[in-house]
Amino acid sequence: MSRRVDRLRRHQVRLLPAFALAIGLGTAPAPRAADSPDPIATLVVDARSGAVLHAERATTRLHPASLTKLMTVYLVLDAIRRGAITVDSRWPVSAHAASQPPTSMGLDAGEEVPVGTLLLGLAVASANDAAMVAAEALGGDEATFVERMNATAAALGLRDTTFGNPSGLPDPEQLTTARDMALLALALEREFPGHGGLFASRSFVWNGRTEHTTNRFLTSYTGADGMKTGFTCNAGYNLVATATRDGRRLLGVVLAASSTGQRDATMRALLDRAFGAAPTTTSTLAALGPAATTPPPRRGVIAEACLAGPSGGWNVDLGVARTERAARDMARSFIGARRASLGGGRPLIIPRYTGVTLYRACVTGVTEERARATCLAYRREGGQCVIFGPDAARRQVEDAKRIQRLQSRRSD
């Protein structure tokens, strides 16, 4: 075991000499994440009757990513229904909200944004800054709003869902199931029919800039008329979709796909099959078994795009932290403060084994040019960072996972 750790240390030194550029951009296709992920979770229900037409691993607890924003939208619409606000009410943008990492609307601290525009930002652009503005306006602070999210989830029967933030940014304790996401989506449609076009919108304009939908399925599937995407490296690619054909309306959920192509193709096949067959089941969402009987949530990177890519797979290494959460916060803060320079990016946390486990805070998913320029500017400010390419990232993640497996076997 010690020889293996020593080899990993030497490998890391070769890959990441201080302030030097690591291995060049590879030409091989992006691989699946190390440790082939469990099968994805899928569900199809009749949106009008609630009958379950298909369910596979529908009660496995997984990370929701930006499907979390369905609950944030629900609470904003509930405040409108109660008369506490209107779509024309304007909410202030705090520095904390403005610093949220992409995806974002690019809101600036101190400006005020109409509630209606923020709703579009949540539903169409999947904007994390819009989610934080809503949380602070409705809850007073993020923690109070999250408490309200979880209380509402319980009231709606989302028995296996726990929210940790209003946007879906990575949080190891933020979990849901396909069943619960279907219940939440149906509640949005049932309780707020006057806002039915919100999740069908394909674009909107704010401050002279057009924000386009993140939902490719909405623009490519015949009959698609709404709902929401979600993505983080650990969640994979998630989708809740609604579609109407020949008077029938279906709702589908796909969780933990490893690519947008897999996610959309899976949803397309499920809905096509359901539209092509007469309903033969009276099963309901309530009848689906509890999540306690399913495997524990997966850890580690699921999405292919987080390990390598032909144009946007470069990385910025910011150093190590003692906990995974601290490393993730470090990466998020870096992204939020430098979103214009990075042009995107998302946290990538790589365990580092040096007798004790530390966690390397990295930002992944940016181009070589932006990674180089951002890191150089950060160093001029007195910070420390290293950039490295997608092949290096993939090998380091795979090496860390191999050591993790060896340690697990030794402890068994």
Classified as helix, coil or strand, 400 is helix
Cα–Cα distance for residue pair 177/162, rounded to 1 Å: 10
Question: In terms of Cα–Cα distance, which of 361, 374, 368, 359 is closest to 391?
Answer: 368
Q: Which 3-state string (H, E, C) describes 28-81?
A: CCCCCCCCCCCCCEEEEEECCCCEEEEEECCCCCECCHHHHHHHHHHHHHHHHH
Q: Would you call 42 exposed, middle or buried from its count of C-beta atoms within 10 A (0-12, 13-18, 19+)?
A: buried
Could you tell me where the beta strands, DSSP code E, fall in 64-208? 90-92, 112-114, 203-206
Q: Would you call 276 exposed, middle or buried from its count of C-beta atoms within 10 A (0-12, 13-18, 19+)?
A: exposed
DSSP string, 139-162: HSSHHHHHHHHHHHHHHTT-TT-B
Furthest C-alpha separation in the chain: 66
**How far does CA 28 lie from the centroid of its chain?**
26
Instruction: Answer for the pair 137, 148: CB distance below 8 angstroms, yes or no.
Output: no
The active-site residue out of 99, 104, 126, 167 is: 126
The active-site residue out of 2, 36, 49, 66 is: 66
The active-site residue out of 2, 36, 49, 69 is: 69
> What is the torsion angle, in degrees rounded to the nearest 10, for the CA atoms of residue 264, residue 270, residue 274 and residue 276?
80
Catalytic annotation present for 126: yes
Instruction: Answer for the pair 254, 239: CB distance below 8 angstroms, yes or no.
Output: yes
Catalytic annotation present for 333: no
Catalytic annotation present for 66: yes
The residues carrying an active-site annotation are: 66, 69, 126
